[in-house]
Every structure is written in structure tokens, then in C-alpha cells.
């Protein structure tokens, strides 16, 4: 058997191992060790040590635990109820005001934490009962929470984008700038969709009683926004501004964000030893998972390259003689399907690198491809049969709200994500204009 065929067998064994439920990071390491030792002998152990060192000394990846810590501290600062309440009264005269307030709150909170499960669960506990009391349609209510909770995957400071920048070897700063317009475009599509649906069918979201809206003065609205919305928005803008205007590296800005999150928690009286200990533990656990996936993926990929398996895969795609848009469609469909059995971290670290060497051949901007992947991975959280965002919400929803009802509520937002992907491919300037304007020399 040729080396190339052994490489394909190695890849096939890995895919089978995934569906059998083996731990992915350690499966990657085991296959890398086994097949690498068979080809190179003891030298493979030295290569693994080198790969582990490269991962742990990558400056870009230093931002990952800091952003995670910032998110976990904000999540435990008990500001979500204040934030939702302030936006709710500010948007009280907008059609579907509670749903719109939920989307805006999810956008801001998901951006600050980047943790889909936390945002969906907390908003399910807070916003779902409020919308139910107001007589909102259950499908509409569940859909806005599930879709809004996923926005942190795309809108900076996104952990996914940091990891993609490290994998693709591109500037995280430019990638953040490129993701801003598509991220807010998607959030805007959600808001417009909700408002249009409510205007067409007001029964989906009855207006709040006049006793609740007329009694709220401008002074109270300003106070509520100043004490909830403004501090969190200022923290996010401080972190993003420091990165995008070149005042700090992503790692330095993440450190400032972590410190700012602790200061914000202290202001709200939520900075306790127990909460900090929980945030540190969760950060360490998530960071360890990411690092082991990086080490395992790097080991597996290098051994696969020694066998020539990556060349076979690249040659297969090239032999299909696809146009760039066909390659983009095929790659995104594969990533969409992988989102059912796999977590986004596994898709990003293990499978996305298979497509990266082909981008130059098809003349596709790696930054555009990364933002498309970030959009696409959101569909994995919303599309049955897995749809983890829907399961998160079901865990806190009333028993009367079935899982199929939540699935049905998420479907329109799944279509809106696909529409946004089409817009982004047809008009790539949505992703490329801002980085070019900010950073390209005249």
C-alpha cells in the first residue's frame, strides 16, 4: 500500500472514531503517534513536543483564556436582568418590543461572553417568561432567544475568529474588522424580520398595556440605560477599539477586558470569591480543551502530510474542476453537515485546515472564508436534529413548550443566516471594505 493510501486510511479511521464517540483530541494524538511512529520511528515524539510548544507560545491564542474569563465574569455579574429591562422599556413602542429587546440584549450579551449555552439559558430564564406573560407566540419567543444567543460566534470579540486567525495565519485585527459589518447585518436582519412579522400579524406579539408604557418617563429610561446598557457596551467598545485602532494586541486588549469585567462585577456588587473561582475553573477547562485539540490536530495534520494524504485530498478537489463559487458551496455544505455531530471547535481546528490550502487555488480571500465559516457554524446551533441552542432553551422552557415547537421557531433564522451568507458571497465588500479602509495604506 502506498503512503498516500495509508494517509487516506488514517483519515478514514479518524472519521469512524468520531462517530463511535471517542474523545477527539486524544484520538488525534493516538493516530498521530501510531501512524507517525510506523513511518518515522522515535522522531515523531520530538515533533509532538515541538507542536505542543508552538501552540502554547502562540501570541494570538493567549487571548483565548482571557476572553473566556471576561465572558464568564460578565455572565456571573448578574447584569443581564438589568440590561434586558432597560432595553425593554427603551423599545416599548417598537412592534414586537419584547422580542426586539431580547434580540438586542442577546446581541450585546453574546458579544460580551461568546458563550452560546450561557446566553440562551439565561435569556430563556429571563425573557421567555416575560414574553409568555405578554401573550407572545411561543415559536416567535423561542426563535429570537435561540438565534440571538448564537450571534457571539460572529460578532467580535469572537473566540472563533481568534482561533481561525491562528489557524489560517492571518491578522486577527483585520478579521475582527471584517466581521463587524456582517455581524451587525445579521442582527439587523433578525430585528427587521421580527418587526415585519409582527406588523403583518400583530397577534404574534401583542402591544404592552398602556399602563406599562405611558408611566415610563424619559428620565427613567436614560437612568436605566446609563446603569446597565452603557457600562457593558463601553467595555466591549473599549476592547474592540483597542484592537482595531492598533492601541493594543488582541491579547493585551483581552487582558484589559478581563480586568474591566471584574471592575464591572465589583460595581454591581457581584465580585465574590466563589464567582471568580467558578470563572477561573470554567476558563481553565475550556482553554485546556482548545489547547489539546490544537496539539492533536497539529500532530495529526503533520503526520497526514508526511504520508501525502493532504495532497490526495487537495488533488481530489482540484480534479473536480469546480468554479470558486462551487467550491465555496461544497465546502460550506460539508461544514454545515459536520455541525450536527461535532462541536464548532472541532470543526474549526480539525476540518477547516483541510480547505485552507485550496483557497489560493480558487482565489478566495481567507478572511472572507473565515467569516463565512463563522456564519455557517451558527446554523449548527439552530438546525435539527442536533440544534444545541434549541436544547439549551428546552432545558429551561416550560413543559408546555415542546422541542419541535422550538425547532420550528428557529427555522426562519436558519434561513436568514443562509441569506446572509449569499449576500456576503455576492457582495464580499461587506467583509473586506472596513479592513481595507482602516489598515491598507493609500
CA 361 to chain centre: 27
207 DSSP assignment: P
The parent domain of residue 254 ranges over: 3-439
Using the CB atoms, write b or e for 374-409: b if 16+ within 10 Å: bbbbbbbbbbeeebbbbbbbbebbeeebebebbbbb
Q: In the prediction, which pLDDT does 85 show? A: 77
Reported as a pLDDT band with limits 50, 70 and 90, residue 142 is: very high
- What is the distance between the alpha carbons of residues 299 and 92, in angstroms, rounded to a whole number? 54
Q: Are 67 and 159 in contact (CB under 8 A)?
A: yes
| CA–CA separation, 158 and 178 (whole Å) | 12
pLDDT at residue number 213: 57
Full-model pTM = 0.84
**How many whole angstroms separate alpha carbon 229 and alpha carbon 232?**
6
Query: Are 410 and 378 a contacting pair, CB within 8 Å?
Result: no
Interval 367-385 mean pLDDT: 89
Give dist(CA 189, CA 131) in Å, integer.
21
pLDDT attached to residue 186: 93
Residue 247 has what pLDDT? 86
Q: Quick: pLDDT tens for 220-269.
A: 778 878 877 888 888 888 888 888 888 888 888 889 889 988 998 888 88
Q: Is the model more confident about 314 or about 66? A: 66
Is pLDDT at 195 greater than 90 in this prediction?
yes
Furthest C-alpha separation in the chain:
79
What local confidence, expressed as pLDDT, does residue 412 receive?
A: 93
Whose cell is 465546502? That residue is 331
Comparing C-alpha atoms, which of 174, 117, 125 is closest to residue 149? Answer: 117
Domain count, the chain: 1
Residue 318 pLDDT > 90 = no
Cα dihedral: 414, 411, 20, 358 (round 10): -20
The predicted structure's pLDDT at residue 441: 64
The per-residue pLDDT of the chain, averaged, comes to: 84
Lookup: cell for 360: 489560493
Share of the chain above pLDDT 90, in %: 18
HSE-CB of 351 using CA atoms within 13 angstroms: 23
Q: Which residues contact 228 (CB under 8 A, 6 or more apart)?
A: 79, 82, 83, 85, 86
Window from 115-124, 171-180, 216-225, 314-323 with minimum mean pLDDT: 216-225
Residue 77 in this model has a pLDDT that exceeds 80: no
Amino acid at each position: 500500500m502506498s503512503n498516500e493510501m495509508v494517509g487516506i486510511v488514517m483519515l478514514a479511521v479518524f472519521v469512524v472514531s468520531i462517530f463511535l464517540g471517542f474523545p477527539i483530541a486524544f484520538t488525534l494524538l493516538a493516530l498521530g503517534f501510531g501512524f507517525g511512529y510506523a513511518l518515522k520511528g522515535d522522531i515523531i515524539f520530538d515533533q509532538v513536543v515541538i507542536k505542543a510548544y508552538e501552540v502554547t507560545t502562540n501570541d494570538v491564542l493567549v487571548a483565548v483564556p482571557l476572553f473566556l474569563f471576561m465572558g464568564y465574569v460578565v455572565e456571573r455579574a448578574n447584569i443581564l436582568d438589568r440590561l434586558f429591562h432597560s432595553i425593554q422599556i427603551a423599545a416599548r413602542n417598537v412592534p414586537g418590543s419584547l422580542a426586539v429587546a431580547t434580540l438586542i440584549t442577546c446581541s450585546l450579551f453574546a458579544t460580551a461572553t461568546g458563550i452560546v449555552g450561557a446566553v440562551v439559558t439565561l435569556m430563556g430564564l429571563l425573557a421567555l417568561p416575560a414574553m409568555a406573560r405578554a401573550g407572545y407566540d411561543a415559536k416567535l419567543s423561542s426563535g429570537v432567544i435561540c438565534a440571538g444567543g448564537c450571534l457571539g460566534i460572529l460578532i467580535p470579540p469572537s473566540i472563533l475568529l481568534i482561533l481561525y486567525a491562528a489557524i489560517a495565519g492571518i491578522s486577527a485585527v483585520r478579521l475582527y474588522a471584517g466581521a463587524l459589518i456582517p455581524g451587525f447585518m445579521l442582527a439587523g436582519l433578525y430585528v427587521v424580520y421580527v418587526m415585519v412579522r409582527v406588523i403583518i400579524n400583530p397577534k404574534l406579539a401583542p402591544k404592552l398595556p398602556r399602563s406599562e408604557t405611558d408611566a415610563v418617563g424619559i428620565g427613567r429610561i436614560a437612568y436605566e440605560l446609563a446603569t446597565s446598557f452603557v457600562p457593558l457596551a463601553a467595555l466591549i467598545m473599549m476592547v474592540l477599539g483597542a484592537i482595531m485602532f492598533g492601541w493594543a494586541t488582541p491579547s493585551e486588549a483581552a487582558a484589559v477586558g478581563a480586568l474591566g469585567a471584574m471592575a464591572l462585577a465589583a460595581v454591581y456588587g457581584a465580585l465574590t470569591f466563589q464567582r471568580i473561582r467558578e470563572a477561573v475553573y470554567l476558563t481553565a477547562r475550556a482553554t485546556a480543551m482548545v489547547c489539546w485539540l490544537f496539539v492533536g490536530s497539529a500532530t495529526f495534520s503533520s503526520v497526514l502530510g508526511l504520508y501525502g494524504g493532504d495532497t490526495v485530498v487537495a488533488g481530489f478537489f482540484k480534479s473536480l474542476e469546480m468554479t470558486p463559487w462551487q467550491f465555496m458551496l461544497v465546502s460550506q455544505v460539508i461544514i454545515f453537515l459536520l455541525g450536527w455531530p461535532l462541536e464548532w471547535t472541532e470543526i474549526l481546528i480539525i476540518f477547516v485546515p483541510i480547505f485552507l490550502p485550496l483557497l489560493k487555488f480558487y482565489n478566495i480571500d481567507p478572511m472572507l472564508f473565515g467569516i463565512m465559516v463563522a456564519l455557517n457554524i451558527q446554523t449548527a446551533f439552530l438546525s435539527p436534529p442536533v440544534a444545541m441552542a434549541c436544547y439549551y432553551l428546552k432545558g429551561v422552557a416550560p413543559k408546555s413548550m415542546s422541542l419541535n415547537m422550538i425547532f420550528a421557531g428557529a427555522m426562519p433564522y436558519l434561513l436568514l443566516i443562509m441569506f446572509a451568507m449569499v449576500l456576503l458571497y455576492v457582495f464580499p465588500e461587506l467583509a473586506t471594505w472596513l479592513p481595507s479602509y482602516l489598515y491598507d495604506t493609500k
